[in-house]
Amino acid sequence: MRLNSPQINIISKACMKASRSLIRDFGEIENLQVSSKGPGDFVTSADKRTEKIIIDELQKAHPEYGIISEETGYINKSNTKNRWIIDPIDGTMNFLNSIPQFAISIGYEEEGEIKCGVIFNPIMNEMFCAEKGNGAYLNNSRIRVSNKKNIKESLIVTGGPRGESKIKDKIFSEYINVSKNVSNVRKFGSAALDLAYVACGRFDGYWQRELSYWDIAAGVIILKEAGGFVEFFEDDNSNPLKRNILATNSNIHEELKELLK
Ligand code: 2AM
Ligand code: CA
């Protein structure tokens, strides 16, 4: 791999370290699924355990960097120059149900711009990573978005709505409209991996409302470096951590955007 910034090395090391306990935890879930208590509490602690390993590792390298992480929130909030953006388990619902479609996602931001990121699915042993200006990789191979030009032939991925969403009807009607005009739509349950899959051409486009910044920070740079196009739409200015995202191979971008109107 030709990625060589110190930050990408720090992130991939943290991912590898955290993934060892995450793989063990995933192995436990099957047993807990059939127990009367269920795996709920265990998953919450696995999430926290994974986050702690990642944060400890990142802080060892740079105690002064800012952090935004799903479970803990902000650390060193005043440092907005250098910041790690962490989602310890993206695709928690899949993890909870013993479905191996989840990932650790870590992005690194400098002066408000994402410079590099890693998305690691420890069960499939797939590490997606990218660094600004140096391309995107899946393990050791360079990746690129698909070359699909016709939206009617495109495979699109999306997610949501969550149970508590106040715009469920809107999200469902978008789902129907997109479904009628593309080859097919998937709901895979991990925003980070959805973006990574567009980056390597498995999907042609992705959209999702009501995400959090940590779900997509690493995915944005991976997709951009793979030749894709990312756009945030109808941003809620009162909450900078909330995002609606549209991300494609760039060829079908305008057409997919049109379908969401
Ligand atoms: P999670 O697994 O870390 O909770 C599922 O469609 C994907 O969207 C997952 O990446 C999930 O992250 C994320 N997601 C769905 N609804 C969300 C919400 N309301 N806020 C934040 N993330 C959400
Ligand atoms: Ca997430």
Contacting residues for 192 by C-beta, under 8 A, at least 6 apart: 87, 90, 91, 103, 105, 119, 215, 216, 218, 219
Rounded to whole angstroms, the Cα distance separating 74 from 151 reads: 40
pLDDT at residue 42 in the model: 83
Reading the block at residue 237, the tokens are: 């200015």
pLDDT at residue 30 in the model: 78
Nearest to 128 by CA among 196, 195, 188: 196
pLDDT at residue 92 in the model: 94
Burial 174-213 (b: 16+ CB within 10 A, else e): bbeebeebbeebeebbbbbbbbbbbbbbbbbbbbbbbbbb
Rounded to whole angstroms, the Cα distance separating 206 from 157 reads: 5
CA of 190 to the centre of ligand 2 (A): 7
Q: Supply the residue whose CA is at minimum distance from atom 14 of ligand 1.
A: 211
Question: Is 212 a pocket residue for ligand 1 (Cβ < 6 Å)?
Answer: yes
The pair phi, psi for residue 167, each rounded to 5°, is -120, 40
Question: Is 205 a pocket residue for ligand 1 (Cβ < 6 Å)?
Answer: no
- Could you identify the residue written with the tokens 């998305």? 119
Tens place of pLDDT for every residue, the chain, 261 residues?
578 899 999 999 999 999 999 999 999 887 887 777 778 888 888 999 999 999 999 999 999 999 999 999 999 999 999 999 999 999 999 999 999 999 999 999 999 999 999 999 999 999 999 999 999 999 999 999 999 999 999 999 999 898 899 999 999 999 999 999 999 999 999 999 999 999 999 999 999 999 999 999 999 999 999 999 999 998 777 788 889 999 999 999 999 999 998
CB-based neighbours (< 5 A) of ligand 2, an ion: 87, 90, 215
- Could you identify the residue written with the tokens 């200006």? 133
| CA distances for 100 relative to 90, 93, 129, 252, angstroms | 11, 10, 19, 29
Ligand of minimum distance to the alpha carbon of 215: 2
Question: Is 168 a pocket residue for ligand 1 (Cβ < 6 Å)?
Answer: no
Write the secondary structure of the chain as one string of H (helix), E (strand) and C (coil).
Answer: CCCCCHHHHHHHHHHHHHHHHHHHHHHHHHHHHCCCCCCHHHHHHHHHHHHHHHHHHHHHHCCCCEEEECCCEEECCCCCCEEEEEEEEECHHHHHCCCCCCEEEEEEEECCEEEEEEEEECCCCEEEEEECCCCEEECCEECCCCCCCCHHHCEEEECCCCCCCCCHHHHHHHHHHHHHHCCEEEECCCHHHHHHHHHCCCCCEEEEEEEEHHHHHHHHHHHHHCCCEEEECCCCCCCCCEEEEEEECCCCHHHHHHHCC
pTM score: 0.96
Q: For a substitution probing ligand 1, which of 87, 92, 162, 170 has the most ligand atoms within 8 Å of its CB? A: 162
pLDDT at residue 111 in the model: 96
